[in-house]
Amino acid sequence: MVPGCSYHSGPMPLPYLTREFPGIGGRIKQRPDDFQVQEIPLYEPSGSGEHVYCEIQKTGITTFEAIDRIARYLHISSRDIAFAGMKDAAAVTRQMLSIQGVEPQAVMEAKVEGVQVLWVDRHGNKLRLGHLAGNRFAIKIRDVPPTDAIKVKPILAEIERRGMPNYFGEQRFGRRGDNDLLGAAFVRGDDREVLRLLLGNPLSGIDDGQTHAARSHFERGDLEAAMKAWPRRCGMERRILARLIKTGRPAAAVRSVDEKLRRLWVSALQSRMFNAVTARRIDSLDRLMDGDIAYKHVNGAPFHVDNAAVEQPRCDAFEISPSGPMIGFRMAIPMGKPMEIESEAFGEVALAPADFKRSGVLRVKGTRRPLRVRPENVELSGGVDDFGPHVTVGFTLPAGSFATVLLGELMKTNDAQGAM
């Protein structure tokens, strides 16, 4: 059983590390500039090369929408624009892009709604997903008195000492919260379940009237009625359903799903399983076990722990941490108690690392991820502006870690969700 209360939904409640400290409540993301994020680049552009690097500031739109708008303005394909990380829509965010086949001046002069180009330079290589050192956040928690900044200090002190759970945020699992279920069905080769989740399974409060009706028709087996009900804007669902109607074969319909989407499902499955393991180890997040695979924070290198007592001082110094599974067929597997914990989580979805090598499942290799990370350069203040009182917290997290996890520890409310 997992101790404590959950701060977001999912198959398994995710407990707080700092359960003994009450949260301050409040609300986030009431206005875009209440949630500010700036990427910390992994490297600077060299000044020469065929790719134009630029830093953009976007407000109120997703990274994909910003890229689409820039591509339309420059009359290029969105595939010619690369990014290092996704950034939330309901925020003011700064991030790097690389653009191929354009002149720097054209990018600098771009006039795009919701996007401001801050600077441009050239570089020899395309920007790759994950090519960032971290993210700097400045977030206002509203509907709380400014003096509550004092109440947050002991929570932050505990997290700075022990680290925070490196959970994936709930946004990782999609608007319907089922990307991981789609991933599990896909890896198991259960094509009918993939289609049921993708085209059926109506959810009140999430699906609008048209999509709820379409999904309900599919659940009843009336494919033609479902096709008529699906809105034209749902091109992906309509295309897959049309393939199913034409062939009568669920496998053929699933094969028509874009590979990027299938990879997203599998990634969500990996994330959910990692969260499950982290939750099981929440009370010893900063303690190594014999048989662990430790993670070196300086370079990400993993190694087997034969004697936890010998390695624990390095863990106390935050040089290393226990790691959890990003499941795949080549993932390093721990021994002893850590292996039992991971096997239990894998068993809940009836999957094992070897299943990710099956033909047609994208052959996901897998990796290890630290169970904890430590926020750096933490700043805290309280104040009042034109929109009311607030507590502002600033901090830096490594790439791939979620600000909402830290906010959950501070607030202990469900409002601390939905942004990275």
Q: Confirm if 148 and 24 have CB atoms less than 8 A apart.
A: yes
Measured between alpha carbons, how far is residue 285 from residues 43, 46, 107, 245 in Å? 31, 40, 45, 50
Pairing of strands 302-304, 92-100: unpaired
Decide if 100 contacts 69 (C-beta within 8 A): no
Angle of helix 191-199 versus helix 235-247 axis, rounded to 10: 140
Catalytic site residue from 33, 68, 88, 222: 88
> 100: helix, coil or strand?
strand
| CB burial readout 240-249, b (16+ within 10 A) else e | bbebbeeeee
For residues 393 and 37, the answer to whether their CB atoms sit within 8 Å is: no
Q: Give me the helix-helix angle, 179-188 and 259-280, nearest 10°.
A: 110
Query: In the chain, what's the furthest Cα-to-Cα distance?
Result: 65
Instruction: Kindly calculate the radius of gyration of the chain based on its CA atoms and give it in whole angstroms.
Output: 23
Q: Is 415 a catalytic residue?
A: no
Q: Do residues 290 and 307 lie in contact, with contact meaning Cβ atoms separated by under 8 Å?
A: yes
Structure tokens at 54: 């630029």
8 Å CB contact between 37 and 111: no
The CA-CA-CA angle for residues 407, 408, 412, to 5°, reads: 125
Catalytic center residues: 88
